[in-house]
Amino acid sequence: MSTGTFDPDELEFLAEDIFVTIIPNVKFPIFYMLSGDIGPMEPNIPVEVPLWLAVHMRQRRQCRLVVPEWLSLEALMEQKDRELKLDLFGEVPGPFYVEMSQIILDNFTEEIPDSNKIRRLVKDIIDIRLSKLRGTVGLHVKKSEMYAVVNNITQIELCSLRNLLTRGMDQLDMLKNAGLHNAGGASQSFSDDSSALEVSSMNPS
Amino acid sequence: MKNASLALTHGNYLSLSDIMVTEEKLLCTLTTDFHGLGYIQPSTRSENGDLVEGTVLDLPLWMVNPMKRNQWLEFQLPTAYQEEARRILCADPGIVEFRQGSRCRFSQNHYPLGLYIIPLADNINNSSLLATQIVKKKSLTLEEAKEVRSSLVSTFQLRFRQIMDWSNKTCHDTSAHDLKRLDRSERQLLEIGKAEQNSLISWNQRKKSKILKPSTAIKNARLMTDYADSRKRARIEV
């Protein structure tokens, strides 16, 4: 079901545009793409390609992936520890690290020996960060702060909460401003009503 | 839109949930005579069938709104917004059940109804001279309206965390009992939250990794439009 904003699937699609390094074992001339040229590829010479092309070539057994450094067991352990220690959100390897790890773990099983452990670590990190996010949001709504600054958060993490939070804040805002415009008297409450009608005609549901 | 929240439905003429809110009845006292309308409240009508000043009757919100604006009636604040109820909500908003039948008669439309009632408050300074002293005591003053508003805000703030936590649970384990406690707009928020959470979970578990072939997708789309066309034609022919 679509939630109206970015779905995890759509984010995965966007993540496939991130460049990774592969070692091809075939020869290709330059690919001329709209987003830029890729290649040329020579056997055993590392080359940077978008993730989708890496997956495509891997399925045809035409390349091997150089696994990104952040997807190793040690790096993820370190990240998990950091997340546990910090109250705020820690640095992440990239804007699409969750999606990328999912794609890489699905398609490049041979390159990653501890894929199960890594999968679990990534899940742990997301869970820690999501619980932090929920805590922050809960506090934010409770204390009715004007704004909140959140650094180092990625799209996929926002996915779990975005609509709920924005609609909830909308409702809170409506409750806070209830009757504010027409406290003066009857004539003003009239104009207030007409503006409400305009708004409703703009939002046919 | 299926998951419309209060922000989208409030004041929207075509929204069903908004219609249900404006159907809620308020206890009103008339401040004018209405000629020939005595049949609405047969017990108190005058000899010539008029609805007389001072009659007390239940009127739906959509009717109270314009009549209040014309100073034709005064209404009584529903019990769910009066001081006793406000104190209950202040003590622990989390356990209050927003449904008919509880002690203070909290309705399922607690927030939207409050949103409608608050602007109806009298400004004491320039309130009409028409209203009698007794009636004025009953009606909603600006100060009280402000208190109602702050009570609504704090109630929502404290209950929001609960909604968020429930939305985090997997689809089945929010029991019907929990749901009954929620205001209608809160339930809509819960559904939005659950939909998001579920889409993330099912992505993570690769439940919907099947990608349609373009040809199949086009075929499906065509079937849908054909179906809609045939229905339209059937309606016209009838």
The number of beta carbons lying within 10 Å of the beta carbon of residue A161 is 22
| Chain B residues within 8 A of A12 when measuring between CB atoms | 203
**Contact between chains at B119 and A182 (C-beta distance less than 8 A):** yes
Least confident of A119-123, B108-112, B165-169, B199-203: B165-169
Q: Which of residues 31-90 of B touch A (CB under 8 A)?
A: 69, 71
State the ipTM, two decimals.
0.75
Distances (CA, A) of A132 to A83, A162, B238: 9, 15, 59
A182, burial (CB in 10 Å: exposed 0-12, middle 13-18, buried 19+): buried
Q: Which of A161, A197, A200 sits opposite B196 (nearest CB)?
A: A161
Question: pLDDT (tens digit, 9 = 90+) per residue, A138-178?
Answer: 888 888 777 888 888 888 888 888 888 888 888 888 888 88
Structure tokens at B40: 């609405």
| Chain B residues within 8 A of A199 when measuring between CB atoms | 11
Return mean pLDDT, chain A: 82
For residue A55, pLDDT over 90 is answered with: yes
Give the residue extent of every domain in chain A.
8-177
**Contact between chains at A174 and B6 (C-beta distance less than 8 A):** yes
Class of domain A8-177: mainly alpha
Question: pLDDT (tens digit, 9 = 90+) per residue, B117-138?
Answer: 888 877 554 444 444 444 455 5
**Contact between chains at A179 and B119 (C-beta distance less than 8 A):** yes
Q: DSSP secondary-structure letter at A177?
A: T
Whole-number Å distance between alpha carbons of A108 and A47 = 17
Q: Which of A8, A137, A178 sits opposite B149 (nearest CB)?
A: A178
- Calculate the CA A5 to chain-centre distance: 12
The reply to whether A15 touches chain B by the CB within 8 Å rule is no
